[in-house]
């Protein structure tokens, strides 16, 4: 592996940093809105699933307690 001098390394880092394409303000806002929407939908979905399975477990426990 070839050794790189600190100056050459800094120059390479600057060259690579110059290739970065940052998102526009609109792209950032759209991505943020999509993330908020998706996490809200998933939160509601998992809340529903948790409620459903919680009701099943309560029913099974009450059923088992009635059989004793």
d(CA 53, CA 48): 9
- 18 located within any domain: no
Give how far the C-alpha of residue 55 lies from the chain's centroid of Cα atoms, to the nearest Å. Answer: 28
> What is the domain count for the chain?
1
Q: Residue 66: which pLDDT band, with cuts at 50, 70 and 90?
A: confident
Residue 17 located in a structural domain:
no
Give domain status of residue 4, yes or no.
no
Rg (CA), the chain: 27
Model pTM above 0.85 = no
The answer to whether position 15 is within a domain reads no
Q: Is residue 53 part of a domain?
A: yes
Note down the domain range covering 55.
26-68
Q: Determine, yes or no, domain membership for 11.
A: no
- Residue 8 inside a domain? The answer is no
Which structure tokens are listed for 43? Answer: 């939160």
pLDDT tens-digit readout, 5-40: 999 999 999 999 999 999 999 999 999 999 999 999
∠ Cα 17 31 25 (to 5°): 60
């Amino acid at each position: 592996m070839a050794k790189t001098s600190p100056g050459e390394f800094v120059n390479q880092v600057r060259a690579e940093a110059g290739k970065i394409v940052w998102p526009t303000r609109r792209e950032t806002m759209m991505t943020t809105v999509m993330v908020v929407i998706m996490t809200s939908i998933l939160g509601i979905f998992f809340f529903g699933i948790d409620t459903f399975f919680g009701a099943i477990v309560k029913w099974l426990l009450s059923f088992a307690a009635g059989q004793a």
